[in-house]
Structure 1
């Protein structure tokens, strides 16, 4: 089983890291090409595309302009949003990291598909952006490349299963593009009957951590997830969509 999570807008390039051996993103050349194209966009255009403040537009214009010289950090430790609060990668024991490298993936607007130890440079480029070189949307620019790489990872891992812990925006880069033989199980987190975005994002990270911490390789065993009061709700679940509630 390979679990897939979304990236985060918030980044952390300052917290000290444990001893690590970073890897190179498999789609690093594509990321560099996207960064070069984005570097040609005026700040005003970035502000409109990303719906961000002038200060953030300048920050990201600078990031794209200086992309090749920017510092690198393993992706699992670089993202710092709600999902990654739940994942809490900094507290994982050293023995968990190789398992995470084999069983956890992060979708990315810029890098396509990242492994936890892939060295990434700071950026902001959401998968739902209505811009890409010679395309109207970023998902169109990526085409089948992300899904093909994920499918290859699933085949190499051997289970034939993807645990979808990503947001709809990011799963759109994969949805309908995986081979027919790959099973996908999407997780729906609820507080009672309510969907609460903040809590659901954190819960996705907690489930990814639970998988890594306990070295869970079989998707059916994920029904045992019970962090922070969540429980599997059999009556509201089916073969490819499971509900967890608290």
Structure 2
């Protein structure tokens, strides 16, 4: 299930932090809701490239959920401080709507 709604920096826009798996997120037609969606993606470096490894990603999404709750995260930029299980924000791979965390 998607998790987290906050207020973006300097605006009154609602933000949805989507920590659901792709299978669950795909059932929501995001074009029908007027909200910015940020999706954290967790990737591991393997065989010379960063890849999503499902079993690790599932755990990382849970850790991110706990991080949001325990730190009362409201601003999307605060998600970039997440640093659990050696995952850290990767500015070069990320975009405005997809925050990539690598290890």
Tell me whether the two structures share a fold, i.e. TM-score over 0.5. yes
2:99 matched to which residue of 1?
A: 242
Is the partner of 2:40 in helix, strand or coil? strand
CA 1:190–1:171: 2 relative to 1, 3 Å = same
Is the partner of 1:190 in helix, strand or coil? strand
Query: What is the CA distance between 1:185 and its match in structure 2?
Result: 0.6
Query: What is the CA distance between 1:154 and its match in structure 2?
Result: 6.8
For residues 70 and 13 of structure 2, what CA distance do their matches in structure 1 show?
A: 19
Which of 73, 79, 94 matches 1:222? 79
Which of 185, 194, 197 matches 2:51? 194
1:96 matched to which residue of 2?
A: none
For residues 172 and 154 of structure 1, what CA distance do their matches in structure 2 show?
A: 22
- The unaligned stretches of length 5 or more in structure 1 are 6-102, 104-152
For residues 212 and 178 of structure 1, what CA distance do their matches in structure 2 show?
A: 27
Count of aligned positions: 95
For residues 68 and 43 of structure 2, what CA distance do their matches in structure 1 show?
A: 19
Query: What is the CA distance between 1:178 and its match in structure 2?
Result: 4.1
For residues 188 and 163 of structure 1, what CA distance do their matches in structure 2 show?
A: 11
Specify the structure having the higher radius of gyration (Cα): 1
Q: Where do residues 41-120 of structure 1 align in structure 2 (5 Å cutoff)?
A: 103=4
* TM-score normalised by L of structure 2: 0.80
CA 1:230–1:194: 2 relative to 1, 3 Å = same
Say whether the 8 Å CA contact 2:6–2:75 is kept in structure 1: no
Moved over 6 A (4+): none
Query: What is the CA distance between 1:188 and its match in structure 2?
Result: 1.2
| CA deviation vs aligned residue, 1:191-240 (integer Å, no higher than 9, x gap) | 12121100001100100100101111111110000011110000001111
| Greater share of helix | 1
For residues 77 and 70 of structure 2, what CA distance do their matches in structure 1 show?
A: 16
1:161 matched to which residue of 2?
A: 15
* TM-score normalised by L of structure 1: 0.36
Say whether the 8 Å CA contact 1:159–1:218 is kept in structure 2: no
